[in-house]
Every structure is written in C-alpha cells, then in structure tokens.
Structure 1
C-alpha cells in the first residue's frame, strides 16, 4: 500500500501534516459536487486540502484535486480564499515530535499526537495524546496501538 498524501494545517506559523480529513464531511453534505474517480495510489481520496486555525476557528485555506479523471473547480469547494469550516465536527489529529520522545532516542519521532476538538468549525479544547506501545508476542519489535 502506498503512503498516503495528507492534508496540511498551519498552527502558530508552523506547517503540520493532518491525519484527519475534515473536508470529507463537506463532500458528504454537498452531493452536487462530483465524486472523485480514478484516484492515484498515493492519494486514494483524490484531493488534498490545507487548513489554518486562527483565533480558535478552523479555516479551509486551499484545495487541490489529485484525481486525474475528474475536474473539480476549486471554487465549487472554496467560496472565498479563507473559508470557515463550520460544517466540521470532530477531532483534528496532528502527529507531533515531543522533547520527551527525542530524549529517549526513540525510532518513532511521532510518539504523540495533538488532538484538537472542533464543533461547527470552532476549537473548544485540545490535548496531547501519547501513543501506547505493547510488546509483540511474534517479534522483538513493539506494535503501536
């Protein structure tokens, strides 16, 4: 399976990858926008989006289709250059490097995720969630839950 291209999000002037796909909820609510077909292996959902949080509000700031067989006008998705994502309710999952994981000499620099909880496009809380490691019965490596 090919590594998937991820959405991007700007937080405090830094660019991060985003494990979540908030734009999926937008497409579910807007059935008039054609679905993507012929998706590329590295981006099965057929698009990439960019996001920004400013003043505790989630904005969709960019959209790029990756599907070679469907042409979507970005204006069908973005009604203005920076659009409040007021359709989105959920958790934004952002992999982060922590000073603690780097100090331990871990092979996995993303041992933590920043979870940002959003309701109708407004951030209401956030937390850092540590990944849990458990020993595998079949190998000497650890599995991530």
Structure 2
C-alpha cells in the first residue's frame, strides 16, 4: 500500500499531520450515507478530514471527500456527511489514540502511516473527549532528511474528471 495522505489536526495554535483516521468508526457504523472513492493510491480512504481540539473535545471541522467512480469523481464537503453540522461536528464516536508525527523523517515505509519521524505526539480520546497527551522521541534524523510528514511516493490526482 502506498503511503497515505494524513488527516490534519488543529491543536494549540498549530496545524499538525494526523496519522489516525478518527472518522472510520463513524463510517463503519452504518450511519454513513456516502461511499467515498479513492481518487489516488495515496488516499485509499477517499477523504481528508481537518480536526480541531477545542475545550478538550475533538471536532471534525472540515472534510474534503470524493464520491463517484474511477471515471468520474465528485468532491464533497462536511455538509454532505453531516448536513446539520456544516461548521463542525463533535466526534463522540471516536475513542482511541491520535498520532501526530513531527520532525525529520527517520525511516520511510511505502505503506499506510508506517514511516517514522523524530517525534510522535500521542493524544488519548474517549468518546470525543480529549485526555492525556505525551510525546515520544524516536531518534535524530540525518542532517538533510525531509522535515515533517509528507508523501514520499509520487502520486497524482491531476488526471481525475471532476464535476
């Protein structure tokens, strides 16, 4: 599997790469009327969410999703999935750990979110309520290593037909 585009997390005034998919439990619950389509191999889940932690709660505040088929893909936003909450929705369905890698690349893995970086911030969440967070230092990268979470695979979404 190709390395995947990260979700985004707005936390303490920063935009972080989020290598966790907090929307998956909701999508797997059967409550989702949409069927997201992978627009490229770097986005098998078919969407990128922007999340925010506000007042110790996790919110989905923006969504860039793709529906349709490989011949014709239509881009949809948060209002397509949560029509009553176009400005953001409390992620009460998510319990687990958020992982936000940072720093320079230590080891690239051509699959999912498996690459390792100098640091990982872990944030515990239970039914959308944020708990403890801690940072793990994974090592020091080579002097010219790429900084921050990026897709090292050269994939393109430019050849899609869009409505």
Classify the TM-score, shorter chain: 0.7 to 0.9
Structure 1 spans left out of the alignment, 5+ residues: 98-105, 134-145
1:74 partnered with 2:81 = no
Residue 68 of structure 1 deviates from its aligned partner by 5.2
Distance 1:37 1:62 in 2: 18
Matched, 1:57 2:86: no
**Equivalent in 102, 112, 116 of residue 96 of structure 1:** 102
Count residues in correspondence. 125
C-alpha separation in 2, matches of 1:59 and 1:73: 15
Q: Which has the higher helix share?
A: 1
Partner of 1:120: 127
Taking structure 1 as reference, are residues 29 and 107 closer, same or farther at Cα in structure 2, changes over 3 Å only? closer
What TM-score comes out, normalization by structure 2 length? Answer: 0.66
TM-score (norm 1): 0.73
Judge conservation of contact 2:38–2:66 (CA < 8 Å) in 1: no
Q: 1:111 aligns with which of 96, 118, 135?
A: 118
Q: CA-atom RMSD, angstroms? A: 2.6
Q: Which has the larger radius of gyration?
A: 1
- Correspondence for 2:36: 36
Q: Which structure exhibits the higher relative contact order, with contacts defined as CA atoms closer than 8 Å and separated by 6 or more residues?
A: 2
Unaligned 5+ residue runs, structure 2? 107-115, 141-163
- Partner of 1:142 in structure 2? none
CA–CA distance in structure 2, aligned partners of residues 107 and 84 of structure 1: 32
Shift of 1:66: 3.5
